[in-house]
Amino acid sequence: MRALSILLLATGLATAADNPLYVFDNGTGRGELTVQRQVDLTKRTGYAGIFFSGTKDIPALVAAHKAADLEVVGIYTGMNLSDPKPSYDPGLPAAIEELRGTGALITLTINGKTADKQVNTGDDVAVAVVREVADMAAKAGLKMALYPHYGMHVARVEDALRVIEKAARPNLGLVFNLCHWLRSGDEANLDLRLKQALPHTFMVSINGAEHDGDWDRLIQPLDRGAYDTKAFVAKVRRLGYQGPIALQCYNVKGDREENLRHSMAAWRTF
């Protein structure tokens, strides 16, 4: 069976089940298409499931994925340290319960600054919230991951690792985001960063990209850009990462379905 899978991959005939790639909902019509239409598009273009933003419509999301034999890889939420009472999305506890049994990853961005500059630049406040969310996820049999996002409090892989160590929850990890890592200017340190991050990495996001620039250069369909995303994926796999990989599509111009098909065609050569 393994030899057959390798042959299929080599000849470009592998299916999503052989080498699954998930997709962010910013590539499937977030805010424009219904959940059902997004799932239909995902299935039609060969992706294994959606990485979904927010905490609404989770029952519909789960049902549509199940009917299409797809997998909800995770949901994307955030907190802001600048809020008067920094916390998680009010809909998150219900969403976690609705995702029980799916294996979906609960991800969190951490943005802003605390009003009290003496509170360890926000880590203490963030850690309290992260622990609460991680504990809720654990009770539902789910994992939680910090999502490093350029310009936020947790902006780099190193920031996520610092908060993970402080929070000390066994079901807590991170998402390794190719575009945000490139935006941070850390390309020269890939080997070191992967060595540090992969033991804690629960998801990897990829896309076509240049080596530097703004988001229009750092987030492109998978068949474009000078950065060797194929080699990046090969290295991540060679180092032992076996978790999900998802396609980031933020603000990619052009026809939605055509972009997804181009990226999937590129993925099938990986």
Alpha-carbon separation of residue 55 from 4, 94, 95, 130, 178 (angstroms): 40, 8, 6, 17, 24
All residues at 6 or more sequence positions from 31 whose CB lies less than 8 Å from its CB, including other chains: none
All residues at 6 or more sequence positions from 264 whose CB lies less than 8 Å from its CB, including other chains: 21, 45, 46, 47, 222
Query: Would residue 55 count as lying in a domain?
Result: yes
pTM (two decimals): 0.91
Query: Would residue 1 count as lying in a domain?
Result: no
Q: Which two tokens stand for residue 183?
A: 């935006």
Query: Would residue 242 count as lying in a domain?
Result: yes
Query: Would residue 265 count as lying in a domain?
Result: no
Query: Would residue 10 count as lying in a domain?
Result: no
Domain that holds residue 230: 17-256
Query: Would residue 94 count as lying in a domain?
Result: yes
Parallel/antiparallel/unpaired status of strands 172-177 and 201-206: parallel
Count of Cβ atoms closer than 10 Å to residue 65 Cβ: 23
Total tally of structural domains belonging to the chain = 1
Query: Would residue 267 count as lying in a domain?
Result: no
Digitized pLDDT (tens) for each residue of the chain, 270 residues in all: 334 344 444 444 444 457 899 999 999 999 999 999 999 999 999 999 999 999 999 999 999 999 999 999 999 999 999 998 999 999 999 999 999 999 999 999 999 987 665 545 689 999 999 999 999 999 999 999 999 999 999 999 999 999 999 999 999 999 999 999 999 999 999 999 999 999 999 999 999 999 999 999 999 999 999 999 999 999 999 999 999 999 999 999 999 999 999 999 999 999
Query: Would residue 159 count as lying in a domain?
Result: yes
Q: Which two tokens stand for residue 84?
A: 């008067």
- Give me the CATH number covering residue 204: 3.20.20.150
